[in-house]
Structure 1
């Protein structure tokens, strides 16, 4: 039975998004619907966490907007994500970067080597 479920979820999984890890700075282009209009909004920030697996996987992006920290939890397989671009690859030693909430301003994350 689980073999059938695995085949169905493998077919529904998105393959057009690039690989990214916690600590990377990403730019996510989201489709926003306001009334009967639809527009694209860019959300750029640091990937703070990844959770789940398969088609139910989510990731959290944190950015500073006018001095206020904004977090957004996004499902990886949602059709609302039009594109995802890795701006900078970060090198961190943690699985989740929730401690960034206590930092006001910028926190320096080392950059991973370009391979």
Structure 2
């Protein structure tokens, strides 16, 4: 198997456009969940503590939130068909990609320094922007 063939198959698995998510962002991930014969969308909101393989079809984010006093971490494949939408709620200034130090902190010590950003511009996918320009 040639590398070009593998690359072609991988590119077919990718979504056309994904929101640019960084470590330190507070995101709302809309995930499709199937329970029995019913399907629903579950929203998971938390801080992105890790991003992996940004340009790959296996790009992944790890999101952490505190639920009922217990830390919950979930990993999401950004190009998965089960992930419907990722929207950025808040952006923070961080110096690392993996924010493991947040695991040991709670309350005020777990706060991150917020950065002003244009929420609409960030959450609009590049493919949607091109369609708006053509219309």
How many angstroms does 1:91 deviate by? 1.0
**Structure 1 residue 82 and structure 2 residue 84: aligned?**
yes
Larger Rg, first or second structure (1 or 2) = 2
Match of 1:33 in 2: 34
Match of 1:98 in 2: 100
- Provide the secondary structure at the position in 2 that maps to 1:7: helix
Match of 2:115 in 1: 112
Which deviates further from its counterpart, 47-56 or 27-36? Answer: 47-56
Q: What is the distance in 2 between the residues matched to 1:102 and 1:91?
A: 19
Could you tell me which runs of 5 or more consecutive residues in structure 1 were left unpaired when the two chains were aligned.
none
The number of aligned residues is 115
Residue 56 of structure 2, aligned match among 33, 54, 57? 54
How many angstroms does 1:50 deviate by? 1.2
Q: C-alpha offsets along residues 62-104 of structure 1, whole Å, 9 cap, x if unaligned? A: 0011111100011111111111100011110011011111112
- Normalising to structure 2: TM-score of the pair? 0.77
C-alpha change, 1:15 and 1:105, in structure 2 (3 Å) is farther
- Provide the secondary structure at the position in 1 that maps to 2:107: coil
Bigger proportion of residues as strand: 1
Which deviates further from its counterpart, 22-31 or 73-82? Answer: 73-82
